[in-house]
Structure 1
Amino acid sequence: ATYILPGLIEASESSYAVLALTSDVSVAATGKYPLTEVDQEALMRPLTKWNAVVRRGDHVPRMVRAAFRAMTTGRPGAAHLGLPFDVLNEPVDPSDIWADPTTGAFPAYPQAPAPGAAEAAVDAILSAKKPLIVAGGGVVIAGAEAELARLATRLDIPVATSISGQGALAEVDPQAVGVVGSNGGTPETWEMMTSADMVVFMGVRAGSTTTARWEAPAAATRIVHFDVDPMVPGANYQTEVAVVGDLRLALAQVNAVLDARDQGAASFGGAAAVAELKRRKFAAFEARAASDATPIRPERIIRDLRETLPADATIVSDPGTSCPYLSAYYPLPIAGRRFLTNRAHGGLGWSLSGALGAWVGRPESKVVAIMGDGSFGFTVGELETVTRLGAPITFIVLANQEFGWIKASQKEGYGARYHNVDITATQHADIAAAYGLKTWRVEDPSALKQSLTAALETNGPSLVEIVTQPLEEAEVPVSRWMG
């Protein structure tokens, strides 16, 4: 049971429905010091939205139904069901074995906002001079991408996102600003946040990363907040209008209000402002991406990935070295969940295992997992599973011989007094080859694109190890390393 804890807290904090089923010591042996005994209910309680250990076999059906109901309704989250060994052998009444098919997907039973909330939000937005929408993961979870795109286009409002909100709007759309905040944001995108006279948060909690520890919006900025969780609006900012409900239903109501008013000709000038922002942002990026320096610059890796990956690829990133570069400089061409990363708690090693889940869920898409060498060491054993299943995933290891995020934090916050952040040079490609993957090791930038192309075309699992510039020496799109 203890091995599953990081996955549960990540799911709960990221608002994803995940059910953990764990075995437990028998009820008859409880308190007699049996091997592996632990109070699972207490252990799982702070990590889950719903949690129980079943004490009787005839309780199993209704407890399973309760778990699904809890984790798929409202703000989705993780659920846990502990099953003692002796309970698993007890009989169950067949007539009680049934399920509610609605809770087989999430969000289940979506709730619309209160009457008048959408109208109040529209009135507030139209009264602003320079509004900015900041979309979070709640937009994607609710399937509200089309409604958001229609709203942004008809009013020409710029739309920024949190990292989890990437895919709320295709990042090549004229109104798409990109990621804002201390991780994956850039000075250019931050200008949009600081200059807005109104910020419209949609399915985002306005936490420390998106707001750079609440540096922006400023306290005087007008706030409209859409969220499924009534605890979120007003938690960090005084909110002029709160719209509580499912994001898809809420934005559909907003568009319906605008339809009734025949509203759609007015423009906030978002596309023009975004075009100028992106011109400056990517000019600086391209200058660094053209470098032939070694170790290979992260920008060069992102540029070559942009030129080799198919538009419908699914990118799975660890939260460290790769995440800010992908969030800042890899514009997702298709709306929806195409970029996956565990930014809620940031456990290392997530992408190697997470990519396997992404492939199972979307086998028609090319899945690429990107991680640092420190992260690779956490879950390298999963390569056996990948090989056994023949999963055609391409893994990319950014090898800089360090726990880069922590080292960069120690440079910025502790005067470069480094402690336990450097790791031994390892031949990651050789390790992966021993598991049965086809591998490449790249040190020369001129060989990078060719190696990536060959790996992506491999009919089976592949890995490319790239000797990469240390993070603390790079121009990383991160304005605050910790907190």
Structure 2
Amino acid sequence: MTDSATRHGGALLTACLVAQGVKRVFCIPGESFLAALDGLHDSAIDVVVARQEGGAAMMAEATGKLTGKPGVAFVTRGPGATNASAGVHIAFQDSTPMVLFVGQVASDQRDREAFQEVDYRAMFGPLAKWVAEIDRADRIPEYVSHAFHVARSGRPGPVVLALPEDMLSGPAAGEAVPEAVLPSGKAADDDIREVLSRLNGAENPMVIVGGGGWSAEACTALASFASALDLPVGASFRCQDYLDNRHPNYVGDVGIGINPALAQRVRDADVILSLGARLGEMTTSGYTLLDVPVPRQSLIHIHADPSEIGRVYRPDFAVVAQPGPACIQLAAAATPAPRRPARAKARSEYETWQQLQETPGALKMERVIGHLNDVLPDEAILTNGAGNYSAWLHRYYRYRGWRTQLAPTSGSMGYGLPAAIAAKLQHPERDVICLAGDGCFQMVSQEFGTACEQGANVVVIVSDNGMYGTIRMHQQRHYPLRPSGTSLKNPDFAALAESHGGLGIPVSCDAEFPAALERARSAGVPSIIHLKLDPKALSPKMQLEEVPA
């Protein structure tokens, strides 16, 4: 199938992916896209077979986060597509470039509710930047090129392309289009000067960073820009690796469980620069830190998507630009400003917030995270899904470099393990640590088999308190002493690891964890450290016995 005049659509599709620089795809195989699998057979693209479509899509999303280029997944029609939708939603809310290819019924069977038929434009329309179906094989290069441009341009996000079975298997003439070329994303020079003028004129400014379109170079520039103007920098929800947390201008994460002192500083700021962050629900504490629709603070909003600016909050000054390039421009144009005592005080409040607060039990999550801080190298990648266990991670761990945090701003459970696998395949030389709750892990526990098959030697730390802890916490607040539907009877997670050929280590007290971590990091196989926690420790700030009846 190497002759461009006679090859089938699947082979042409593969050639297009190679032209776009794709090195790895994640999939669950399906009969609806056999020709695409055949096209991948002789290519240099690494095909990673996951255990469930949601896991494959999350691996692709994490790859997009790590590389800045679209992660790619293939799933089959109907049930496969619905399973994969979780990963598409993550990519959308996290502004991650991603392309999902979905098998589709043959074109002569459309609109009959054929086996597993779904209207993907209707299904994925609210979840993706663009959804399309390739009806003609000769248009594969056009559609793929457009998909990779859309996924990366403006506010990055997911694209879904449906592949009718007969289109893929039929003859396809055409040539691959070279890799997508994107605009610079820079702001106008006058806009940069205006932003700097407004920040220099502020008495109590605050910067909140987040969103897509960043790079390691941009994060270095952020450190320089913040230092020059002595600006306090807060990270929006799960964007804590945009600025080294040891940097004197980093003052904490503006997300769930925010430091009350930091929340007050956001409220009291006279000027807020939102650099790439959407200012969504999690970053604004349920839209309470800034008034809707006109904030008390003077808001400067730099965002790549003009439709996002003014969506909730009316800014006093707005710039349509990619936050990464704009930050590089700000750093280049900034001149040193007088030191701000308020910035130093905000940093002091962050360091106070970092001091470990004791929770119940012989094994304490704050001690676990404290040890990770002490022993992991700066380039270690930590992943997590959703659940109260992550509150300890977000509060106490100090991220030291760009893309050392992989976590879903969409709050999707199950993300940590697929993301860790993708990270280890992308960076096999680095430590990759996945933190998961017992409920979170069991949504994707089958992907531990993928890790073992791929030789992705991740370390999974499972926090087992026998419940869906976040929901239990809310129950205690709203319906005290009436738990319902939140208990879990869990397996032996260490034994599960051993059954896959990995390493499993149970840990029941603080003293056992350091040796367990060291053993897992040096094992040479994927590992699960099974933390047996006291269920009374619901969060860093809440214990069951503290809740009134």
TM-score under structure 2 normalisation? Answer: 0.80
Percent identity between the two aligned chains: 27
Cα distance, 1:113 vs structure 2: 2.1
Report the counterpart of residue 179 of structure 1 in structure 2: 253
Distance in 2, matches of 1:370 and 1:473, equals: 16
Report the counterpart of residue 263 of structure 2 in structure 1: 190
Report the counterpart of residue 359 of structure 1 in structure 2: 424
Given that 1:57 and 1:91 are in contact with CA atoms closer than 8 Å, whether structure 2 keeps it comes out as: yes
Cα distance, 1:415 vs structure 2: 3.6
Cα distance, 1:228 vs structure 2: 1.0
Cα distance, 1:257 vs structure 2: 3.6
Report the counterpart of residue 457 of structure 2 in structure 1: 392
1:242 and 1:319, CA in 2 relative to 1: closer, same or farther beyond 3 A?
same
Distance in 2, matches of 1:402 and 1:156, equals: 44
Q: Which amino acid aligns with 1:244?
A: V
Report the counterpart of residue 170 of structure 1 in structure 2: 244
Cα distance, 1:476 vs structure 2: 3.9
Aligned runs of 1:257-336 on 2, under 5 Å? 257-258=333-334, 263-269=335-341, 272-283=344-355, 285=356, 287-288=357-358, 294-334=361-401, 336=402
Higher mean displacement: 227-236 or 134-143: 134-143
Aligned runs of 1:57-456 on 2, under 5 Å? 57-93=137-173, 96-103=174-181, 108-138=182-212, 140=214, 143-181=217-255, 183-218=256-291, 219-258=295-334, 263-269=335-341, 272-283=344-355, 285=356, 287-288=357-358, 294-334=361-401, 336-344=402-410, 346-456=411-521
SS of residue paired to 1:116: helix
1:3 and 1:341, CA in 2 relative to 1: closer, same or farther beyond 3 A?
same
Q: Which amino acid aligns with 1:205?
A: R
Cα distance, 1:16 vs structure 2: 0.7
Distance in 1, matches of 2:106 and 2:443, equals: 32
Given that 1:140 and 1:165 are in contact with CA atoms closer than 8 Å, whether structure 2 keeps it comes out as: no
Report the counterpart of residue 45 of structure 2 in structure 1: none
Cα distance, 1:227 vs structure 2: 1.1
User: Are 1:13 and 2:13 matched, yes or no?
Assistant: no
Cα distance, 1:275 vs structure 2: 3.8
Q: Which amino acid aligns with 2:458?
A: I
Distance in 2, matches of 1:140 and 1:66, equals: 22
Report the counterpart of residue 469 of structure 1 in structure 2: 534
Cα distance, 1:141 vs structure 2: 5.2
1:256 and 1:432, CA in 2 relative to 1: closer, same or farther beyond 3 A?
closer
Cα distance, 1:90 vs structure 2: 1.8
For 1:285-327, what per-residue CA distance to the aligned partner results, in whole angstroms no more than 9, with x for missing partners? Answer: 2x42xx7x52522212111221232221000111212322211
Cα distance, 1:72 vs structure 2: 1.2
Distance in 2, matches of 1:45 and 1:102, equals: 23
Distance in 2, matches of 1:353 and 1:43, equals: 24
1:22 and 1:448, CA in 2 relative to 1: closer, same or farther beyond 3 A?
same
Where has structure 1 moved over 4 Å in runs of 4 or more? none
Report the counterpart of residue 481 of structure 1 in structure 2: none
SS of residue paired to 2:234: strand
Distance in 1, matches of 2:259 and 2:535, equals: 20
SS of residue paired to 2:214: helix
Pairwise CA RMSD of aligned residues? 2.1
Distance in 2, matches of 1:419 and 1:113, equals: 52
Given that 2:156 and 2:212 are in contact with CA atoms closer than 8 Å, whether structure 1 keeps it comes out as: no
Aligned runs of 1:17-36 on 2, under 5 Å? 17-36=97-116
1:74 and 1:446, CA in 2 relative to 1: closer, same or farther beyond 3 A?
same
TM-score under structure 1 normalisation? Answer: 0.90
For 1:198-226, what per-residue CA distance to the aligned partner results, in whole angstroms no more than 9, with x for missing partners? Answer: 21111101111111112213532111111
Distance in 1, matches of 2:311 and 2:121, equals: 29
Given that 1:411 and 1:472 are in contact with CA atoms closer than 8 Å, whether structure 2 keeps it comes out as: no
Distance in 2, matches of 1:471 and 1:24, equals: 49
Distance in 2, matches of 1:427 and 1:128, equals: 56
Q: Which amino acid aligns with 2:408?
A: N
1:33 and 1:255, CA in 2 relative to 1: closer, same or farther beyond 3 A?
closer
Distance in 1, matches of 2:393 and 2:141, equals: 43
Distance in 1, matches of 2:425 and 2:144, equals: 23
Aligned runs of 1:47-62 on 2, under 5 Å? 47-62=127-142
Distance in 2, matches of 1:473 and 1:66, equals: 47
Distance in 2, matches of 1:139 and 1:188, equals: 29
Distance in 1, matches of 2:193 and 2:344, equals: 27
Higher mean displacement: 21-30 or 273-282: 273-282
Higher mean displacement: 23-32 or 436-445: 23-32
Distance in 1, matches of 2:542 and 2:377, equals: 24
Cα distance, 1:383 vs structure 2: 1.5
Cα distance, 1:477 vs structure 2: 8.7
